[in-house]
Structure 1
């Protein structure tokens, strides 16, 4: 059996989280059992998934599946679409997602957060949906201008600082790295006078965090952007005016998606976001990208996602 879009290429990071390649093996075995033709490529270093995805679609492949956490999805979409032009390398490219690793929050938005044996069901058939990507232009960690795509959610401020600290902690701590970094970052971060420019609004005030959301979930299941729709051509944007400690205390509300009623959270929908002011650390899809100033825009329906 072959998919209507051709045999998919499964791209996986076998070292994501504590997975050790188990999700890829289970997914591939389940596809073999159904006689579903597919190919597999495993990454060995950072950036491999981007290179493999780019080479695959430039070679004519139309169906690429990211197997892993949000970091794997992040790398794959940056290989499927040219960040500078915003154009896909191959017309009508279809993205599939099988969650694994320590993240998988984008998968939750689409209901893909299932065991591999069940998650592969969405790869079958021909049902797809338009899928937006976010793009950010910012200052890279090397001080040079950088343009990067993201699939799920970006943050600037306290959330970026937490991600940067977590990345410097020993990997053997696993998901606990983020808990440690969340507490450690409280003492390191102060409110920063930040200008936020949106399609129809502008504000300048001290902020702890700015969320630019394409998807709904981050941080292992927190429903940070319950009104985000990754196919409507707009971001869900939130500006937090509370202290970092207030953000931490809001965790129960974040889990439920009820935090947007808090007085220290402002919320808008916008296709563009410009952040200016003293440098804030920017992360997207769990990857530290650089610092503000930063300009975000939506690439509407640039890919199709397999449902």
Structure 2
């Protein structure tokens, strides 16, 4: 049986969801049982998924590419399907599929796709898709050169960037505990800094510990950071956090419930563009990947890509 969107290519991160619960073998078994013809490409290095996705739609003429892994895998695939510099979609109207398979699968969670591979396999069979926005950040990369990167879910500048930087140095075998350890470790490594945030409503400068630029609703393994974010409405949900890092840690139960927005030290806007600068460079992460540092500017590519539901 063929998909109405064409034969899907599954691009899988072999280190995501490793062990007996690994997503890829369960997904391929489920698709085979349902008679859906498919191909598999396994990544072997960083940014491999970007190259595989780009070649799939530009050179092989594919229209259906499925990211199997965590938010980092989704981000890499998205950057292969859409050119970050020009904002143009590569190939012939490609469709993105997402199968959760890592320690952080928050983009999938926004759409209710954070389910077992056997369940999501059924979602890959039909024709239903949803046009979604993608975020784009322009900033200074870790190598000092300017770069543009697309992200599907949530970006942060400040404390959140330090958390991701620390988590990257910890063994992946720790799973979700790696992120929890980094959250605590970053407390001692970050202090408030005077930060200027520019949104559609104006510009504000004040001491902050973190700036959140959200396209999706969840981050950090299920924390409901942006309950008012809609990844198809041409606006980011933007938050400026004035709390200290230790207060952020104490407020993690609020973050999980999405009730932190009522705090006096959280400011929130809906904005199509965001610029962040600070008295000292802030580390910037998006979708759990460390990208560079401020100054950084964010804009949206409105409904630029179709997501398979």
Instruction: Tell me the TM-score range normalised by the shorter chain.
Output: over 0.9
Q: TM-score, normalised by structure 2?
A: 0.97
Q: How far did residue 166 of structure 1 move?
A: 1.0
Secondary structure of the residue that 2:89 maps to in structure 1?
coil
1:136-285 equivalence runs, <5 A: 136-277=137-278, 278-285=280-287
Quick one: distance in 2 between partners of 1:90 and 1:96? 16
Secondary structure of the residue that 2:247 maps to in structure 1?
helix
Structure 2 unaligned spans of 5+: none
Secondary structure of the residue that 2:173 maps to in structure 1?
helix
Quick one: distance in 2 between partners of 1:237 and 1:42? 35
1:7 aligns with 7
1:5-154 equivalence runs, <5 A: 5-19=5-19, 22-59=22-59, 60-154=61-155
1:292 aligns with 294
Secondary structure of the residue that 1:188 maps to in structure 2?
coil
Q: How far did residue 83 of structure 1 move?
A: 0.5
Q: How far did residue 19 of structure 1 move?
A: 4.7
CA contact (8 A) 2:70 2:104 kept: yes
CA contact (8 A) 1:94 1:305 kept: yes
Quick one: distance in 1 between partners of 2:177 and 2:26? 26
Q: How far did residue 224 of structure 1 move?
A: 0.3
Quick one: distance in 2 between partners of 1:171 and 1:125? 35
Quick one: distance in 1 between partners of 2:170 and 2:139? 25
Quick one: distance in 1 between partners of 2:8 and 2:40? 8
Q: How far did residue 174 of structure 1 move?
A: 2.5
CA contact (8 A) 1:9 1:65 kept: yes
Quick one: distance in 2 between partners of 1:86 and 1:99? 26
CA contact (8 A) 1:10 1:41 kept: yes
Q: How far did residue 18 of structure 1 move?
A: 3.1
Quick one: distance in 1 between partners of 2:134 and 2:281? 24
Secondary structure of the residue that 2:88 maps to in structure 1?
coil
Q: How far did residue 171 of structure 1 move?
A: 2.7
Q: CA RMSD in A?
A: 1.1
Q: How far did residue 91 of structure 1 move?
A: 3.4
Q: How far did residue 20 of structure 1 move?
A: 7.3
Quick one: distance in 1 between partners of 2:19 and 2:77? 18
Quick one: distance in 2 between partners of 1:70 and 1:208? 23
Q: How many pairs are equivalent? A: 307
1:302 aligns with 304
CA contact (8 A) 1:18 1:174 kept: no
Quick one: distance in 2 between partners of 1:240 and 1:114? 31
Q: TM-score, normalised by structure 1?
A: 0.98
Deviations 1:222-274 (A, max 9, x none): 00000100011110000001111111111101111111011111000111000
Quick one: distance in 1 between partners of 2:20 and 2:145? 35
Moved over 6 A (4+): none
Secondary structure of the residue that 2:281 maps to in structure 1?
coil
Secondary structure of the residue that 2:298 maps to in structure 1?
strand
Quick one: distance in 2 between partners of 1:130 and 1:20? 34
